[in-house]
Amino acid sequence: LSQLILRSQYSRYHILFQEILPSHFCVGEENWVDSRTIYIGHKEPPPGTEAFIQQRFPDNRIVSSKYTFWNFIPKNMFEQFRRVANFYFLIIFLVQLIIDTPTSPITSGLPLFFVITVTAIKQGYEDWLRHKADNAVNKCPVHVVQHGKVVRKQSRKLRVGDVVLVKEDESFPCDLILLSSSRDDGTCYVTTASLDGESSHKTYYAVQDTKAYNEEKEVDSIHATIECEQPQPDLYKFVGRISIYMDNEPVARPLGSENLLLRGATLKNTEYIFAVAIYTGMETKMALNYQSKSQKRSAVEKSMNAYLVVYLCILISKAVINTVLKYAWQADPNRDEPWYNERTEVERQRHLIRAFTDFLAFMVLFNYIIPVSMYVTVEMQKFLGSYFIMWDDEMFDEELGERAVVNTSDLNEELGQVEYVFTDKTGTLTENNMEFIECCVDGHVYVPHAICNGQVMPGAAGMDMIDTSPGPKAREHEELFFRALCLCHTVQVKEEETVDGIKHGIHQGKSTSFYISSSPDEVALVEGMKRLGFTYLRLKDSQMEILNREDEIERFELLEVLTFDSVRRRMSVIVRANTGELYLFCKGADSSIFPRVVSGKVDQIRARVEHNAVEGLRTLCVAYRPLSPEQYQEVCHLLSSAKLALQDRDKRLAEAYDLIEKDLILLGATAVEDRLQEKAADTIESLHKAGMKVWVLTGDKMETAAATCYASKLFRRNTQILELTTKRTEEQSLHDVLFDLSRTVLRQHGGMTRDTFSGLSGDCTDYGLIIDGATLSAVMRPGQEDSNSGNYKEIFLEICRNCSAVLCCRMAPLQKAQIVKLIKASKEHPITLAIGDGANDVSMILEAHVGIGIMGKEGRQAVRNSDYAIPKFKHLKKMLLVHGHYYYIRISELVQYFFYKNVCFIFPQFLYQFFCGFSQQPLYDTAYLTLYNISFTSLPILLYSLIEQHINMDILKKDPSLYRDIAKNSLLRWPSFIYWTVLGVYDAIVMFFGAYFLFDNTTFTSNGQMFGNWTFGTLVFTVLVFTVTFKLALDTHYWTWINHFVIWGSLIFFVVFSLLWGGIIWPFLNYQRMYYVFMQMLSSGPAWLSIILLITASLLPDVVKKVIWRALWPTTTERIQVGSHMYEIKELARQY
C-alpha cells in the first residue's frame, strides 16, 4: 500500500512538473511516470520506436483483508489500544501489575481482556470472511489468451497486458480495455450494478481498429501498446491512447471511459469479449474506491466525552485529596506505623516514590468510576439497536422491495437531534418518475392523450392541439421536432427474450422491448414521442431507426454524440439522414439553449417554458442546426483532436462542444412532470411541527423548484417569500438586498420573540427564502477588499435563521455541501441532516451530521455514501420522530445511568478511606468490583436502552411537537448531568453512612457474634445493586417480559452468585475473605431491615422529584403520557 501511495505522490509531482515544462519537453511523453505503458499480450514494440521503461505492476490479487495470520495479534492490539478508553484501562491495568495496589489486576484486567477479546474475535472473524472472499475472488478462473490459445488461469495471476476472454454474465477480473466483442459492431453491454448500483445496461465500445479481431488467434496477432494514466479512483474518468502497429506504422487512437471495462461490472447480452488488462489488483478503480468514509461522531458521544473528562477530573481530585489527607494523617508515626502494623524494610526505604505510588493506588481504587463496560454497552446498544430500523415494517417499501438500510450505527441517537433538514428535490421530494406532459413546437402545444390505449393514431388525432392547426411550414418543423427528440438521446432499447410461452403467444412471436436510460427524463421523452406517433426502434450499426406516423422506418446514421454533462446542461447528436443531410440536434435546459439560439419563435417558447416551470414541470428545449459537409468535417476534426488528447481531455472536449453547439435554431420545448412522492407534504409538515427547518437544495430552476415547494407545503399560502436571486441582485447590489431582507425579517422577529418561545407560532407570518446558486457563491465568496464580505455570511445566516423554509435552486453538488457546512459552522452548531438520492447529493450527505440516502432511480451512490438509507422520503418521518426520538431517550438514559451507577459504586469506597486511615482498603470484594459493571447491573440497562418506549410510537408520530422536547441535547445538558451525579452522591452517602451507623460499635446478630469489614462492604454492595436496579426499574416506562426477566433476573443472579461465591472454599483463591459472609449477613434480621430501609431512603428523593416535577412543571411528553394513560383507563371503564 505504501508503494501505491508513494507512486501516486510521485506521479502527482510529475503532473505538476509537466505543467511547468515547456511543450517541446513533452515529446517523450511516453516515458512519464504518471502514465503507464502496456504491451498487449506482452509483445515488445517493434524496434525503432521509443525506448520504453519497463514498469512493474502489481498482480491481480485483491486484498481487502486488514490482517494476516502473523500480524493479527500485534496489529489488532495496536489498533484497539489506540482508542483512548482502552488505553486508559490498559494503563490502569499496568499500574496494578507494577505497583502494590488495593485491588488485584484481575479486577480491571478481566473486563479489559473481555472487551479486547470480544472485539478482536469480531474483527478477526470479519477479517477471516474477507480473506475467504478475497481468496474466492483471487482464485476464480479467468481465461487468458496465450500464443493463440485460451488458457485458464487463477484470477490473481493475471498481469497487466494479458489479453482476457470474458463470457456473458461473467464479471470482469480487472480493469480492461475492450479490444473486440462477439458483436460485429464491437460493442458490448455491461451492468455496473455492483459498482454503483445502476442496473441499466451500459454500452461500451471496442477500439475501432481492433474490433474485427474477435477470434483468439486473431487477437493474439494484435501488436499494440496502450498508454494511459496511472490508476485513479474516479469511476467515470479515463484517458488513454492505443498505438497499433500495422505494417510497422503505429496508428494512435484515443481511449476513453467508453472503452474501459471496470472490475466488478458484469458482461450482459454479449456472447464474449476480448480485452486487455490495464489496471490489476489493488490498482483497479473498484479497489481504489474502497476507502472508508470519515467517521462521524454524534452529539451524544461528544457530551459523553465531556462527562468523561469531568469524571476524570473527579477521579484525579479524589485521588489527590486522599493522598494529601493520607500524608497529613500519617504525620504521627504511631498512626503511620503502629506496633501492630509495621511496614517491611523495602516499603520503608521507598520514600520518594511512595507518594506517587499512593496516588496511583488511589487512582486504581477509584478507577471504576469510568467504566470499561460503558463503552461496550454503548457499542452494543448502537449496533443491536440499529436492527430495529432495518426491521421496521413501516419503512419497507412494497413497490421497490427495499427496506431501510443502516450503514453506520454510530448516529442512531443523532436522528433525534436534527434541527436542519437539507433535502434534494428530484427523486427525494418527487418520485423521479417522469411522465411526458406536453410539448410545444413553435408555440403550438401538443398534449398526448392522457389515456393511451396503446394504439398509435395517425396524424394529429393522437394529440390535442391547443392552438389552431399549423400550416405546412409548421408541420415540417413539428416533424423535425419529433425526430429530434427521437434521435437526440442515449436511450437503449432492451429486447426482452420472453421464454414464457404464453407471453410469447400474446405478443404474436414479436419480442417485446422497452427503453433503458440512465436519465428518466429521456425515457419519458422517447415514450412521449411514441405516443405522438414517432417510435424509436433501435440503434443498429450506427443507424438509428425510427418508425414514423406513416408506419415507415426512417434511418439516420448516428455520427457523433456530444454527451450530457451537468456543466453544459445539454447534449447533442449529429446525424445524417437518408437524404444525406446532416443535422445537429441539441436538447438541454432553457438557460443553456436560449443563448445559443439564432432563430426560431423564442418568445412564445420562452413564455410556455416559464409557464410550465411555474406549474412545477421539468422543461427542456430542443434546437437544431443543419450542417454542411464542410462544417461537419470541421466538427469531426475538433472532436477527434480533443478526443486524442491525453491530458485535459475533458476540458478540451468541453471547448470543442462549445464551438460546435452554436447558431442553433429553436424548435420547441418539452414538459415532463415529476410527481411528488406520496406523503411528502405530510412529512414536511411533520418535520416543521417537530421544530426542524427544512431546506430544499436543488439543481432545478427556481420556478419549478418553488412550485414543488408549494406543493409539498414547504411554503404555504401565507408564507412571505424573500428572494435572493440573480434577478434581484442585478437590480440592486448584493449588499443592499441582504440588508433589506435582514431588516424585514428582524423587524418581524423582534416583535415575535415572545410568541415563538411560548410554543407553536402558528398565526404569525413565516418567511420562506429563495436563493440561487450564483447569488449564494457571491455571498460565500471569501475575502474581498472590503471587510463587508465577511458580514455577508453572517447576515445571510441571520436571515436564514428566521425563515422557516429555504429553497436553494440552481445548486452545484459542491454548493450543496457548502451550504450544509455553513449552517453546521454557524454559532448554534445545529445538527444537520442531508437527504438525497443522486450522485449530486453525495457531497452534502457526507458533509451533514447525518446523511440519508433515498433508494431512488439515479443509481446507488447516495445510498452507499449515506449513514442511513430509506426507500422513500416519507419514511424520514418515522425515522426521525420515532426511531430518532427513542434512540435519543434510550442512549441519554444509558449514559446518565452509567455514570450514576458508578458514582453510587465508587463514592462509598471513597468515603471508606476516611475510616481506614487512607490506606486504599477496598470496601468491596474483588469479585464484586469486577462483576458489578459486567454482570450485576449491565443487562437491565442494555435492554432498557434497546426497548424503552417512554411514549407510544403512534403518539410520537401523531404529535411531532414532542420532538422539540428533546431538542438541543436536552437530556444530556449539564443540569441533568449534575442532577444525576448529585443523586449518585446522595445514594452513596445514604448507603455508606447507613451501614456505618448500623455497624458502629454494636452487635448485629442475635447470637452476639460480630461482623467484619467484608460484611460491611457486602451490605453496602447489596443495597447498591438493588438501589441501582430499582432506580432503572422506576425509569422504565415500557415493561415487556424481557425487562421483567432481565431486571429481576439480574437481582436473582446477584443473590445466587453471592451465595455461591461465599458458599465454597475456592481452592484457586489465596484468600477466603468472603467465605459465608453473605449468608451470615442474610441470617441477621437487622441486616434485612437495614437493606430495605436504605433502598427506600435512596430511591425516595428521585421519586419525589419526578412526581413533583411532573405535577408542577410537566413537559409535553409527560402531559401526553398522563393523558394517554388516563385515556386508556377511561376506555377500559367504558368497555365494562
Partner 1 sequence: MMASSYNAKEEDGHPSGASGHGGPGVVKSKKPDNTAFKQQRLPAWQPILTAGTVLPAFFVIGLIFIPIGIGLYVTSNNIKEFEIDYTGVNMDSPCYTCAKNFSWNNTTPCTCSVDFTLKQPFESNVFMYYGLSNFYQNHRRYVKSRDDSQLNGGRSLTDPSKECEPYRKNDELPIAPCGAIANSLFNDTLELFHIDSNGSRNAIPLVKKGIAWWTDKHVKFRNPGGNSNLTQAFLGTTKPVNWRKPVYELDPSDPENNGFINEDFIVWMRTAALPTFRKLYRIIQKKSSTTPTLPSGKYTLDIIYNYPVLSFDGRKRMILSTISWMGGKNPFLGIAYITVGSICFFLGVVLLIIHHKYDTRNNSADIPN
List active site positions.
Answer: 424
Question: What are the Cα distances from residue 692, in Å, to 264, 418, 847?
Answer: 41, 7, 18
334 lines the binding site for partner 1 (CB under 8 A):
yes
1029 lines the binding site for partner 1 (CB under 8 A):
no
- 318 is known to lie in a ligand binding site: no
Q: Which residue has the cell 407471453?
A: 503
CA–CA distance, 810 with 822 (Å, rounded to integer):
17
462 lines the binding site for partner 1 (CB under 8 A):
no
Candidate residues 170, 392, 650, 740; the one interacting with partner 1 per rule CB under 8 A? 392
- 237 is known to lie in a ligand binding site: no
399 lines the binding site for partner 1 (CB under 8 A):
yes
Q: How far is the CB of 1092 from partner 1 (least distance, A)?
A: 9
Residue 139: other Cβ atoms inside 10 A: 12
Q: How far is the CB of 1032 from partner 1 (least distance, A)?
A: 13
466 lines the binding site for partner 1 (CB under 8 A):
no
Question: What are the Cα distances from residue 1089, in Å, to 876, 1017, 1024, 1050?
Answer: 53, 16, 15, 22
Among the residue ranges 107-115, 557-565, 892-900, 1009-1017, the one whose residues contact partner 1 (CB under 8 A): 1009-1017
- For residue 511, give the DSSP letter: P
1086 lines the binding site for partner 1 (CB under 8 A):
yes
CB 661 within 8 A of CB 584: yes
Q: How far is the CB of 1068 from partner 1 (least distance, A)?
A: 11
1048 lines the binding site for partner 1 (CB under 8 A):
no
CA–CA distance, 240 with 235 (Å, rounded to integer):
14
- For residue 172, give the DSSP letter: P
Task: Kindly tell me the burial class for residue 174, based on how many C-beta atoms sit within 10 Å of its own C-beta (0-12, 13-18, 19 or more).
Answer: buried
CB 931 within 8 A of CB 1024: no
91 lines the binding site for partner 1 (CB under 8 A):
no
CB 618 within 8 A of CB 583: no
Candidate residues 130, 494, 555, 793; the one interacting with partner 1 per rule CB under 8 A? 494
Question: What are the Cα distances from residue 904, in Å, to 844, 1029, 1036?
Answer: 44, 12, 19
1011 lines the binding site for partner 1 (CB under 8 A):
yes
505 lines the binding site for partner 1 (CB under 8 A):
no
349 lines the binding site for partner 1 (CB under 8 A):
no
878 lines the binding site for partner 1 (CB under 8 A):
no
Q: Which residue has the cell 428582524?
A: 746
- 424 is known to lie in a ligand binding site: yes
- 699 is known to lie in a ligand binding site: yes
Residue (112 or 491) nearer to partner 1, CB: 491
Backbone angles phi, psi at 31, to 5 degrees: -85, 0
Contact set for partner 1, span 917-936 (CB under 8 A): 917, 919-922
What is the chain's alpha carbon radius of gyration, rounded to the nearest angstrom?
A: 37
Among the residue ranges 374-382, 412-420, 1024-1032, 1041-1049, the one whose residues contact partner 1 (CB under 8 A): 1041-1049
DSSP symbols for 1067-1086: TT-S--TTTTHHHHHHT-HH
Q: How far is the CB of 195 from partner 1 (least distance, A)?
A: 14
Cell triple for residue 625?
442546426
Residue 218: other Cβ atoms inside 10 A: 16
508 lines the binding site for partner 1 (CB under 8 A):
yes
DSSP symbols for 85-124: HHHHHHHHHHHHHHS--SS-HHHHHHHHHHHHHHHHHHHH
Question: What are the Cα distances from residue 738, in Å, to 132, 722, 729, 807?
Answer: 60, 10, 9, 16
CB 797 within 8 A of CB 815: no
Q: How far is the CB of 284 from partner 1 (least distance, A)?
A: 23
Among the residue ranges 237-245, 774-782, 929-937, 999-1007, the one whose residues contact partner 1 (CB under 8 A): 999-1007
22 lines the binding site for partner 1 (CB under 8 A):
no
Residue (283 or 925) nearer to partner 1, CB: 925
Which amino acid belongs to residue 558? L
212 alpha carbon, distance to own chain's centre: 45
Q: How far is the CB of 1075 from partner 1 (least distance, A)?
A: 5
1070 lines the binding site for partner 1 (CB under 8 A):
yes
- 775 is known to lie in a ligand binding site: no
251 lines the binding site for partner 1 (CB under 8 A):
no
751 lines the binding site for partner 1 (CB under 8 A):
no
1009 lines the binding site for partner 1 (CB under 8 A):
yes
328 lines the binding site for partner 1 (CB under 8 A):
no
Residue (698 or 1015) nearer to partner 1, CB: 1015
123 lines the binding site for partner 1 (CB under 8 A):
no
CA–CA distance, 395 with 392 (Å, rounded to integer):
5
CB 788 within 8 A of CB 735: yes
Q: How far is the CB of 133 from partner 1 (least distance, A)?
A: 21
Q: How far is the CB of 7 from partner 1 (least distance, A)?
A: 37
Candidate residues 46, 458, 759, 1012; the one interacting with partner 1 per rule CB under 8 A? 1012
Which amino acid belongs to residue 779? V
- 873 is known to lie in a ligand binding site: no
User: If DSSP codes are grouped into helix, strand and coil, which group holds residue 785?
Assistant: coil
Q: How far is the CB of 265 from partner 1 (least distance, A)?
A: 13
Residue (97 or 1107) nearer to partner 1, CB: 1107
CA–CA distance, 627 with 564 (Å, rounded to integer):
20
Among the residue ranges 132-140, 554-562, 785-793, 1103-1111, the one whose residues contact partner 1 (CB under 8 A): 1103-1111
Among the residue ranges 142-150, 228-236, 726-734, 1102-1110, the one whose residues contact partner 1 (CB under 8 A): 1102-1110
Among the residue ranges 7-15, 277-285, 793-801, 1072-1080, the one whose residues contact partner 1 (CB under 8 A): 1072-1080
Candidate residues 433, 761, 961, 976; the one interacting with partner 1 per rule CB under 8 A? 433
C-alpha atoms less than 13 angstroms from C-alpha of 566 in its C-beta half-sphere: 12
Q: How far is the CB of 57 from partner 1 (least distance, A)?
A: 33
CB 237 within 8 A of CB 279: no
- 954 is known to lie in a ligand binding site: no
> Strand 850-854 to strand 141-146: parallel, antiparallel, or no bridges (unpaired)?
unpaired
Q: Which residue has the cell 451490605?
A: 1019
CA–CA distance, 1098 with 994 (Å, rounded to integer):
10
CA–CA distance, 10 with 19 (Å, rounded to integer):
15
732 lines the binding site for partner 1 (CB under 8 A):
no
- 840 is known to lie in a ligand binding site: yes
Contact set for partner 1, span 400-419 (CB under 8 A): 400-403
Which residue positions form the known binding site for Mg(2+)?
Answer: 424, 426, 837, 841
Which residue positions form the known binding site?
Answer: 424-426, 522, 564, 587, 618, 698-700, 810, 816, 837, 840-841
